[in-house]
């Protein structure tokens, strides 16, 4: 039995879980937020010696990621969640951009950290913070096995016809402009779980995984490998999301800049990333629950936002059925995928032509379950994703090597 930390660092936050391995029991989780702002927060959830669930919170200035890690580790000791840093035998770091270099999870060393820094132009908000956090953990927990788990690794198997844009080829050769995708850890995790559930080798299956959270992406998995995914050069592409546009005609950019008197193109990209999607369309919220509620109450824009979201998911699933010449399993996961039975039902209704049948009773669930009928030509499964467990498993695997 040993403790592994799964770390997910962003530009101003750091989420963590401590997982007892190989049992995969989560003994503590929480986050540090508002790093670099006047009032930072630390929140740690854990179970105390009497078996009671506890939540520890602290508010103070947390100047940088180094301080965030220090504060987190010292409070883990003080709360008695760990007795000694030596207990933490492994640390897995989620890294957003691994470019074409990292095809799988990799042990952290100085070269890797440098590469993560160099890849910052593909994930300017995430990679620099992740590099800093890896360095701090190396310093504080030098004995621990440390691995980087990349969001992009699973998608490095895509063929050129799916990862290349129809741009001058030199842009790919000179600047590595291509589709990288994201959410790879989640797509890989649920695809493998789906194969276990249907009891067939993943190599024999055509799977479409729909990770529908605040960020959303859809992946075609053939022979156990990602062959196409809806996110692109960055997570902006693909289906409509909480606040992101998904796919859009690039000509809209100069047009909006002129009409709105915007001179900085980054402002437009910011609108596409943060003010569009369900939020921009509905004018209500980026949160699916709020949009569903507003639509229910008769808000037409909210209903249109929902219709567009469903429509984009349907179109991507349809594309992936086409490129794989059929599909054996469709998986729904993440906040919306796991919880919104309406989304699952509405999306899959469009595939009745190929013999897909959803069982309404089975679909009334938030847990892992097959939600299609026994005679459905395609098995449709709801699978809660668990990126932290996937990260901890990769650390264990690398530790054993
Ligand atoms: P993130 O990408 O931030 O990890 P999550 O996977 O947590 O996102 O998903 C968040 C989304 O899931 C939000 O849009 C939220 O409204 C949606 N969601 C959560 N619960 C439900 C529910 N019961 N019904 C519909 N949507 C839900």
With a 6 Å cutoff on the Cβ, whether 235 touches ligand 1 is no
Residue 82 CA, chain-centre distance (Å), reads 28
Question: Alpha-carbon distance 253 to 273, whole Å?
Answer: 13
Determine whether the annotation assigns residue 336 to a binding site. Answer: yes
What per-residue confidence (pLDDT) applies to 124?
86
Which atom of ligand 1 has the smallest separation from the CA of 211? Answer: 6
What per-residue confidence (pLDDT) applies to 149?
98
With a 6 Å cutoff on the Cβ, whether 372 touches ligand 1 is no
Q: Distance from the CA of 288 to the center of ligand 1, in angstroms?
A: 6
Write the pLDDT tens digit of every residue in 212-230. Answer: 999 999 999 999 999 999 9
Extract the tokens encoding 232: 């692109």
Q: Which domains does the chain have, with CATH numbers?
A: 2-150 (3.30.420.40), 200-387 (3.30.420.40)
With a 6 Å cutoff on the Cβ, whether 214 touches ligand 1 is yes
With a 6 Å cutoff on the Cβ, whether 215 touches ligand 1 is yes
With a 6 Å cutoff on the Cβ, whether 339 touches ligand 1 is yes
Question: Alpha-carbon distance 346 to 12, whole Å?
Answer: 36
Determine whether the annotation assigns residue 337 to a binding site. Answer: yes
Instruction: Identify which of 202, 225, 253, 211 has the alpha carbon closest to the alpha carbon of residue 343.
Output: 211
Write the pLDDT tens digit of every residue in 246-278. Answer: 999 999 999 999 999 999 999 999 999 999 999
Query: DSSP readout, 295-331?
Result: HHTT-HHHHHHHHHHHHHHHHHHHHHHHHTTS-SEEE
Cβ atoms of 52 and 108 closer than 8 Å: no
Ligand 1 binding pocket mutation candidate from 8, 13, 189, 214 (most atoms within 8 A of CB): 214
What per-residue confidence (pLDDT) applies to 38?
87
What per-residue confidence (pLDDT) applies to 173?
98
Ligand 1 binding pocket mutation candidate from 336, 341, 345 (most atoms within 8 A of CB): 336
Determine whether the annotation assigns residue 93 to a binding site. Answer: no
Kindly give the residue spans of alpha helices, DSSP state H, lying in 275-299.
Answer: 277-282, 288-296
Neighbours of 399 (CB within 10 A): 17
**Helices H, strands E: what count in the chain?**
15, 14
Q: Distance from the CA of 21 to the center of ligand 1, in angstroms?
A: 28
In angstroms, the first-to-last Cα distance of the chain is 17
Q: Distance from the CA of 338 to the center of ligand 1, in angstroms?
A: 8
| Owner of token pair 């100085």 | 110
* Mean of per-residue pLDDT scores for the chain: 96
Burial status of residue 377 (CB atoms within 10 A of its CB: 0-12, 13-18, 19 or more): middle
Q: Distance from the CA of 263 to the center of ligand 1, in angstroms?
A: 34
Instruction: Identify which of 190, 369, 214, 195 has the alpha carbon closest to the alpha carbon of residue 287.
Output: 214
Residue 378 CA, chain-centre distance (Å), reads 25
Report, as residue numbers or ranges, the catalytic residues.
151
Cβ atoms of 131 and 116 closer than 8 Å: yes
What per-residue confidence (pLDDT) applies to 350?
98
With a 6 Å cutoff on the Cβ, whether 118 touches ligand 1 is no
Residue with the nearest Cα to atom 2 of ligand 1? 214
Residue 79 CA, chain-centre distance (Å), reads 30
What per-residue confidence (pLDDT) applies to 78?
95
pLDDT at 30 > cutoff 80: yes
Determine whether the annotation assigns residue 29 to a binding site. Answer: no
Write the pLDDT tens digit of every residue in 339-378. Answer: 999 999 999 999 999 999 999 999 999 999 999 999 999 9
Q: What is the mean pLDDT of residues 166-177?
A: 98
Q: Distance from the CA of 289 to the center of ligand 1, in angstroms?
A: 7
Write the pLDDT tens digit of every residue in 65-98. Answer: 999 999 999 999 999 999 999 999 999 999 999 9
Ligand 1 binding pocket mutation candidate from 238, 335, 367 (most atoms within 8 A of CB): 335
Q: Distance from the CA of 26 to the center of ligand 1, in angstroms?
A: 21
What is the percent of the chain with per-residue pLDDT over 70, rounded to a whole number? 100
Write the pLDDT tens digit of every residue in 128-142. Answer: 999 999 999 999 999
| Owner of token pair 């670099």 | 36
Determine whether the annotation assigns residue 387 to a binding site. Answer: yes
């Amino acid at each position: 039995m040993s403790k592994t930390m799964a770390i997910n660092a962003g530009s101003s936050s750091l989420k963590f879980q401590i997982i007892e391995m190989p049992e995969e029991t989560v003994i503590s989780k929480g986050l540090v937020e508002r790093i670099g702002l006047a009032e930072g927060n630390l929140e740690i959830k854990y179970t105390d010696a009497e078996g009671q669930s506890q939540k520890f919170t602290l508010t103070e200035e947390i100047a940088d990621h180094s301080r965030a890690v220090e504060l987190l580790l010292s409070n883990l000791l003080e709360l008695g969640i760990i007795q000694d840093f030596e207990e933490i035998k492994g640390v897995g770091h989620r890294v957003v951009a691994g470019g074409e270099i990292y095809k799988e999870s990799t042990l952290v060393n100085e070269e890797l950290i440098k590469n993560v820094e160099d890849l910052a132009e593909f994930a300017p908000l995430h990679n620099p913070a992740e590099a800093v956090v890896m360095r701090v953990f190396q310093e504080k927990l030098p004995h621990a096995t440390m691995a980087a788990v990349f969001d992009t690794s699973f998608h490095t198997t895509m063929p050129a016809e799916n990862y290349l844009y129809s741009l001058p080829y030199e842009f790919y050769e000179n600047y590595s402009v291509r589709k990288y995708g994201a959410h790879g850890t989640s797509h890989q995790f649920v695809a493998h779980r789906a194969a276990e559930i249907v009891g067939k080798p993943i190599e024999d299956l055509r799977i479409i995984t729909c990770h529908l959270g605040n960020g959303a992406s859809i992946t075609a998995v053939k022979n156990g490998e990602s062959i196409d995914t809806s996110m692109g050069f960055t997570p902006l592409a693909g289906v409509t999301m909480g606040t992101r546009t998904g796919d859009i005609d690039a000509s809209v950019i100069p047009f909006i800049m002129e009409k709105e008197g915007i001179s900085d193109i980054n402002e437009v990209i910011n609108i596409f990333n943060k003010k569009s999607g369900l939020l921009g369309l509905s004018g209500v919220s980026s949160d699916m629950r709020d949009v569903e509620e507003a639509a229910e109450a008769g808000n037409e824009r909210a209903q249109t936002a929902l219709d567009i979201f469903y429509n984009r998911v349907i179109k991507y699933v349809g594309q992936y059925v086409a490129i794989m010449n059929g599909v054996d399993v469709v998986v729904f996961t993440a906040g919306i995928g796991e919880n919104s039975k309406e989304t699952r039902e509405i999306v899959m209704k469009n595939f009745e032509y190929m013999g897909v049948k959803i069982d309404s009773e089975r679909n009334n669930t938030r847990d892992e379950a097959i939600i299609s009928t026994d005679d459905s030509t395609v098995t449709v499964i709801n699978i809660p994703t668990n990126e932290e467990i996937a990260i901890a498993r990769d650390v264990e695997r690398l530790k054993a090597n």
